[in-house]
Amino acid sequence: MSDSARQSSDTSGTSLNVSLPSEMRAFVDDAVAREHFGSASEFIRELIRRAQRARDKEELELELLESLGSGAGINADAKFWKRKRARVEKRHGAKRRKAP
């Protein structure tokens, strides 16, 4: 395992030790103070959450683009949802009525 990134586990999660150049460390410290994070760890976790949301958004956009080329679409109007609801109720409604 390298010195720049070492993982260890404890009961509350995992730790990741990262070596930063002094300019980056100063940026982190400044962001923690300016944005009222409790610690550098909280700031880093927020950056990771933002990156995860961005990745999820990209994946969704790709799926939507793929679906555009998957054939003719359907008109999901009120009649469509009424028929869909009736089929679901027919399939699952009897189970609910039988349950105590």
Helices (H) and strands (E) in the chain, counts: 3, 2
The pLDDT assigned to 94 comes to: 59
Mean pLDDT of the chain: 84
Tell me, what DSSP letter sits at residue 71?
S
Residue 37: pLDDT above 90?
yes
pLDDT digits (tens, 9 = 90+) for 7-18: 443 347 899 999
> φ and ψ at 14, to 5 degrees?
-120, 155
Q: From CA 73, how far away is CA 69, in angstroms rounded? A: 10
Enter the pTM of the model. 0.58
Confidence of residue 73 (pLDDT cuts 50, 70, 90): confident
